[in-house]
Structure 1
Amino acid sequence: MIRIKRKFVFLNVFEYWFNYKGGFWGSFGLNAYNHIRKELKNPFLIKVPNYTVELDLTKSKEQILEDFSRTVKSQVRNSEKDGVHCYFDQDVRKFVGFFNEFAPSKGIPPETVERILGYGDSLKISYAELDGQILAAHTYVYDQEQKIVRQMHSASKRFDEQFDKNKIGRANKYLHYRDMLAFKDQGITAYDFGGYQETHSDKVIESLLNFKLDFGAVKKTSSNYYTISYFLLRKLSLMLGIIKKG
Structure 2
Amino acid sequence: MVDFGFSRFGLKFREVMFQNSKEFTFNNEDVCLYHQNINDVGMLDIIKPKYSRIDTQYTIHTDLSVSEEELNIKISKNFRYEIRRAQRENIKIHFLKGKEALESPDILNQFEQTYNNMFVEKNMSNRLNMKYVIAALKAEAMVLSIAIDGKSGQTLVYHAYVIDEDNALLLYSASKLWTDKVLGNLIGYANKYLHWEDMCYMKHVGIQNFEWGGISSKDEPNGIDKFKMSFGGEVVQLKNCIFANSLKGRLYVKVLKERDKRKNEINN
> Taking structure 2 as the reference length, what is the TM-score of the superposition?
0.78
Secondary structure in 2 matching 1:163: helix
Aligned to 2:83: 76
Asked whether 1:168 is paired with 2:187, we answer yes
Residue 138 of structure 1, aligned match among 159, 166, 175: 159
Instruction: Tell me which residue corresponds to 1:179.
Output: 198
Number of the residue aligned with 1:219: 235
The equivalent residue for 1:17 is 17
Encode CA deviations 1:12-31: one digit per residue, 9 max, x unaligned. Answer: 122211114523x3599632
1:162 Cα deviation after fit: 4.9
Q: Secondary structure at the match of 1:177?
A: helix
- 2 CA distance for matches of 1:178 and 1:108? 30
Q: Secondary structure at the match of 2:45?
A: coil
Give 1:108 shift. 4.2
1:114 is matched with which residue?
131
Aligned to 1:154: 173
CA gap of 1:100–1:226, structure 2 versus 1, over 3 A, is: closer
Distance across 2 between alignment mates of 1:215 and 1:174: 11
The one-letter code matched in structure 2 to 1:190 is N
Cα separation, partners in 2 of 1:33 and 1:231, compared to 1, 3 Å: farther
Look up the match of 2:254: 235
Uncovered stretches (5+) of structure 2, i.e. residues with no partner = none
| Partner secondary structure for residue 55 of structure 2 | strand
Provide the rounded CA distance (Å) in 1 between the counterparts of 2:55 and 2:127. 26
Which amino acid in structure 2 is aligned with residue 61 of structure 1? E
Could you tell me which of 200, 203, 210 is aligned with 1:191? Answer: 210
CA–CA distance in structure 2, aligned partners of residues 224 and 113 of structure 1 = 20
Shift of 1:112: 4.8
- 1:3 counterpart residue number: 3
Asked whether the 8 Å contact 1:27–1:227 carries over to 2, the reply is no
- Determine the structure 2 residue equivalent to 1:34: 35
Q: Distance in 2 between matches of 1:69 and 1:203?
A: 19
Q: CA deviation at 1:228?
A: 4.9
1:220 Cα deviation (Å)? 0.9
Paired with 2:92 and 2:163, the residues of 1 have a C-alpha distance of: 22
Match of 2:62 among 48, 55, 58: 55
Please identify, of 28-37 and 13-22, the stretch whose mean Cα deviation from structure 2 is larger: 28-37
Partner of 1:12, secondary structure, is strand
Q: CA RMSD in A?
A: 2.9
- Give every structure 1 segment of 4 or more consecutive aligned residues whose post-TM-superposition deviation is greater than 4 Å: 26-29, 202-205, 228-232
Report the identity percentage.
23
3-state secondary structure, aligned to 1:195? coil
1:95 is displaced (CA, Å) by 2.0
User: What whole-Å deviation, never above 9, does each CA across 1:173-203 have from its counterpart, x for those lacking one?
Assistant: 00000111011000011111111129xxx99
Post-superposition offset of 1:60: 0.6
TM-score, normalised relative to structure 1 = 0.84
